[in-house]
Structure 1
């Protein structure tokens, strides 16, 4: 497989099975908009996918499935005290329900590039849905913590396969001029679903046991699976690529070790078990370095790497991903830290916490498709820069305004623009980053993005909680009350979010439209 670089810094079309060498991304997209529309029942050959045959139900079922799965990732954040009491476990043990989920995601996602080539799209979909369904069913009836943790691991394996499948499907089936609108739905999944987790969890825990957190998912996943079985078709041909077991092992040790270390930051700050997390972190970083070097060497020798790292050479992709990671880390950290602040400092119930978080999540969800449609018209920078700036302003206002006497109304007033800013950042950049790649690298680009998102989520969650804890301890030592100390710790966490989003603003200002998208948009404008 060979490729050359253009002066713009983007990849041209790459020689690959079924992709014509020397073509342009815009020509490829133009072909995709007209090919296969009248042949819905066949597997598409030559790497070119149909885009108008029953695309809506395929995208819809993937979006709904991914939404439920990502919602599941943060659903237990409010439920941890209840689980600790019911299962007789400590806070450190309970945290493994989230840490184990992220660890599994980080281990499985790097293999999805291989799975998307080796297996049919339909097979990947069915496997992912069945894994999540089985994991959820086990969680519903879980009598002990080990069983519940095992169920979460199985759920995470299914989630890790669905997210890259969703993004790759959109890139393959949706015309480039409508991609922003459809990616708006992905923005809902990525930004609104995690924010909705505490709201839904708070409502359910107010009325029922924690088992019903998983009960509510079962019918949705069953219906999605049935609809998917009816409409899902193979738009690519499986290739006989070999799995590099050594790369899988290095990836698992590397990403797993780093996430474990990040999840242990709070213990390190509190002076507990410092040696083991630091040792694991060192092993993880070293394994990732060896893993990356192996992927580059395999490609240079004409072998298929487990995770093709060439997308990182594309500036539009790498900068877009970095901004996404900064925003995602801030959002997920806020989703975890804000409920802790509201319950610990303000004494709010889980239901009130959920209600306070709901408007921000709703704003992000409603705005996602609208932002996507606007992106199709004006490009990324006029949307992403103000969105990142809005997130940064909110984070710094949280530092200045939130204290032990803040009202629920003030929290809602701050959380809504944070959700709006998140939608303005995530939706355009999801489309821009992956749209900058040639078709042959869609799967690997999606795997890179989703893997790094897990690292960013772990980083945001860990650092926010660690700073909240450290700030609270220092405030108590200075003579503050428990409520005031918790509020002080929260401002430390939100300051970290302010720093990250401020960096995101600077990076977003350097982004340019994908040349292929510019050309395609201009062609449409001329014919309109």
Structure 2
């Protein structure tokens, strides 16, 4: 396998990138614990409030495809500094927001910064470490990708209880300032600046495509499938994505080289990552609402209930990376093992959630769920990227990260849609039911879908092939 690119301090460089990405991904879901507070303060409904998460993810889904283009136009340092500054501006806007519109605007600006940092992290880490060290490094990077959005509600719960939801952004802004002051000078360039032509049509098609599909999914929470606000953007988005794909295959210098999907193990690994992120973000928005609304616990207690599962993921991610390295990059066994636990955890939620479910059972189910996720995500991602030649790293990272953000946005939107549908169904059958029972029924209804996705992850794990030689 090819040698890595030499930089002054690969570990410090990787740390700065991972820290920036961690803060951005943490911000994806940090407001989930505060949605009920924000709904009360700004007088908005759950489907509207969820745009604080869905909108963030939607911007990432739109921006990340452009990353493969950006890394060929700007140096690593320029992109990292720009990403951190935009993230800082967005966090400050959100912290100072006097109304919901400004809060959403701040989220969008912060998402633009995060959308620059994440793909740069993926590309740089692959280039500055040798292949025999990638398992541990990608394990830590996988820790960032999965733990940051998962632990967001937990940490936010403590912040909200002690201070207010605005302080989530003040604290995030402080971290961005520290990274800008101490980390930006440590960035060495790792990309080849070729300055390819700007294909405006590709950018427009990808923006309309991903934007249309995610918007349609989000509108399903309050509207029927036959409603124009659902099917029109869905159709427009799908047509735009088809045209985008056709155009990329015909271009000599595509925005994203979709030929990476001709490599079977990259495609399969990306699918598993997509399904995994979808379940993480769906659970991430449902459980805080369930814990606070149905079990009537405080934000701090809700955070404590989710903490053990997140802790398991933090502990296991680098361990799984080490196991992956020691096995010579054999991902199949690890992914299958993890997928079984993901299914078990999701099924416990789907079968037992109610207004009277004991808190210990939620804790156990969440631990089992994230125990499995730890074994699924890193080996799938590393195996997928290891199957690509170096010249496809930027394209592969852009394609995978784009679909990861689409998965997060789709998971959030679908979860809220099914949550709302479950509540309506419960109230139709139980008109005298309590609010806590209604919220629990909505959450349980949505977890049936998550359990189904978990089964698909297990089926996909059976198709993973180990490399014949490392």
The whole-number CA distance in structure 2 between the counterparts of 1:504 and 1:182 is 24
The whole-number CA distance in structure 2 between the counterparts of 1:277 and 1:186 is 36
Alpha-carbon RMSD across the aligned residues, in angstroms, is: 1.7
What secondary structure is seen at the aligned counterpart in 1 of 2:377?
helix
The aligned counterpart of 2:145 is 190
Deviation of the 1:60 alpha carbon: 0.7
The whole-number CA distance in structure 2 between the counterparts of 1:297 and 1:185 is 37
The whole-number CA distance in structure 1 between the counterparts of 2:390 and 2:11 is 21
1:96 equivalent in alignment to 2:96: no
Deviation of the 1:364 alpha carbon: 0.7
| Residue of structure 1 aligned with 2:243, choices 277, 290, 311 | 290
| Residue of structure 2 aligned with 1:507, choices 438, 460, 464 | 460
The whole-number CA distance in structure 2 between the counterparts of 1:282 and 1:514 is 39
Change (3 A) 1:235 1:513: same
Q: Please report the TM-score for the alignment, with normalisation by the length of structure 1.
A: 0.85
The aligned counterpart of 1:398 is 349
Contact 2:26 2:149 in 1 (8 A): yes
What secondary structure is seen at the aligned counterpart in 1 of 2:406?
helix
1:279 equivalent in alignment to 2:232: yes
1:434 equivalent in alignment to 2:385: yes
More off after superposition, 244-253 vs 83-92: 83-92
Contact 1:109 1:447 in 2 (8 A): yes
| Residue of structure 2 aligned with 1:408, choices 335, 359, 381 | 359
| Residue of structure 2 aligned with 1:423, choices 374, 382, 400 | 374
Summarize the alignment of residues 11-410 of structure 1 with structure 2, pairs less than 5 Å apart: 26=1, 28=2, 31-32=3-4, 49-50=5-6, 53-269=8-224, 274-298=227-251, 303-378=252-327, 379-410=330-361
Contact 1:327 1:388 in 2 (8 A): no
Deviations 1:114-154 (A, max 9, x none): 00111111111111111111111222222222222221111
The whole-number CA distance in structure 1 between the counterparts of 2:393 and 2:419 is 38
The whole-number CA distance in structure 2 between the counterparts of 1:58 and 1:167 is 12
The whole-number CA distance in structure 1 between the counterparts of 2:428 and 2:321 is 48
The whole-number CA distance in structure 1 between the counterparts of 2:276 and 2:101 is 33
Deviation of the 1:492 alpha carbon: 2.1
The whole-number CA distance in structure 1 between the counterparts of 2:43 and 2:415 is 26
The whole-number CA distance in structure 2 between the counterparts of 1:348 and 1:178 is 43
Deviation of the 1:381 alpha carbon: 1.1
Deviation of the 1:70 alpha carbon: 0.2
More off after superposition, 164-173 vs 229-238: 229-238
Deviations 1:475-509 (A, max 9, x none): 22222444333333322222211111111111112
What secondary structure is seen at the aligned counterpart in 2 of 1:277?
helix
The aligned counterpart of 2:408 is 457
| Residue of structure 1 aligned with 2:394, choices 405, 426, 443 | 443
The whole-number CA distance in structure 2 between the counterparts of 1:144 and 1:460 is 26
The whole-number CA distance in structure 2 between the counterparts of 1:481 and 1:210 is 28
Contact 2:294 2:435 in 1 (8 A): yes
Deviation of the 1:252 alpha carbon: 0.7
The whole-number CA distance in structure 2 between the counterparts of 1:463 and 1:229 is 38
Deviations 1:309-353 (A, max 9, x none): 011111010001111111111111111112222223222222211
Could you tell me which runs of 5 or more consecutive residues in structure 2 were left unpaired when the two chains were aligned.
Answer: none
Displaced runs of 4 or more, over 6 A: none
Bigger radius of gyration among the two: 1
Could you tell me which runs of 5 or more consecutive residues in structure 1 were left unpaired when the two chains were aligned.
Answer: 1-25, 33-48, 520-528
The whole-number CA distance in structure 1 between the counterparts of 2:440 and 2:31 is 22
Deviations 1:194-252 (A, max 9, x none): 11111111111112122101011122112222232231111233112111001111111
Deviation of the 1:443 alpha carbon: 0.9
Contact 2:95 2:169 in 1 (8 A): yes
Contact 2:47 2:221 in 1 (8 A): no
The whole-number CA distance in structure 2 between the counterparts of 1:506 and 1:89 is 40
Change (3 A) 1:92 1:471: closer
Change (3 A) 1:484 1:143: closer
Q: Please report the TM-score for the alignment, with normalisation by the length of structure 2.
A: 0.95
More off after superposition, 105-114 vs 130-139: 130-139
State how many pairs are aligned. 466
Contact 2:286 2:416 in 1 (8 A): yes
The whole-number CA distance in structure 2 between the counterparts of 1:364 and 1:221 is 24
What secondary structure is seen at the aligned counterpart in 2 of 1:406?
coil
Contact 1:385 1:509 in 2 (8 A): yes
What secondary structure is seen at the aligned counterpart in 1 of 2:32?
coil
The whole-number CA distance in structure 2 between the counterparts of 1:443 and 1:227 is 26
The structure richer in helix per residue is 2
